[in-house]
Amino acid sequence: MKKLAVIDSGIGGLSVVRELLKLNNEIEINYFGDNIRVPYGNMSRDEILSCMEHILDFLYEKGVTDCLVACNTMSSAILNTGYTHKIKLYNIVTPTIDEVNRLALNKAAILATKFTIASKEYYNRLKAIGTDDLLEMASASLAALIEDFDENRDIIEEEVLDYKRRIDDGGYKTLILGCTHYEFIDAIFKELMPEVDFIMPAKLLAHSFDASGLKKGDFNIYTTKGKDIYIHSLRTLDIDKKLNIEDYIEI
């Protein structure tokens, strides 16, 4: 029987959990958020892979067999590296590319972390399927700002407005939200960019995963920082499932 985990640098991957539970609320999910090190997008590839290895080793000891890598930065770091683990990994980039291909988009914008953009994983794959006009926008701060949304709303809106100007100037009509943290503020994106269509990788990853044979059980959260942000985030996302949280995990 398969045992599922979802990993992210912080709370962003909860957007994937929300979509998974819409499909099947009975499955056990083991979530690891490395909030003490968020954002991963400003790290090197070696630093990201080292953190991932520790997280995956921890989850393997918990009996996890399959893991959704909900972080675009982590996913970009493992693509084309030959990185493997005893746990089977599913990256978030591939189903996103598949969706762009399905829509046959030859023009799009993407907003992601510095590492994700610099890795060129999205760029190369999108170019290969015919997205010839691609606006790449890298943020060093947005994911971390979203971790403390209530304190940073004004700053977040200012940053999103800057991206809107760049999108409008180039006449782009589709924006890929290339970090699952950004899906926490999808309402802000939609309010400030009502003319733009959004591609949401969290839903795409959840729907691409074969959930048959998964163990049933609770929602278990492990984090390297405090639990309060998770309690608040679960209310925001309207996730209602029996919950167990262990915080200040050392990896």
Q: Which residues are catalytic?
A: 71, 179
Tokens coding 75: 């996913």
Cis amide bond preceding 39, omega within 30: yes
Beta pairing class for 219-223 and 197-199: unpaired
CA distances from 106 to 2, 75, 179, 211 (A): 38, 23, 21, 32
Hey, CA dihedral for 232, 235, 239, 243, is it positive or negative? positive
The helix (run of H) or strand (run of E) holding residue 91 is strand 88-91
Considering only CA atoms, give the Rg of the chain.
17
Beta pairing class for 66-69 and 88-91: parallel
Put the strands of the sheet holding 133-139 in their side by side order: 133-139, 107-113, 174-178, 197-199
Query: Exposed, middle or buried: residue 33 (CB in 10 Å: 0-12, 13-18, 19+)?
Result: buried
- DSSP code string of 14-60: HHHHHHHHHH-TTB-EEEEE-TTT--GGGS-HHHHHHHHHHHHHHHH
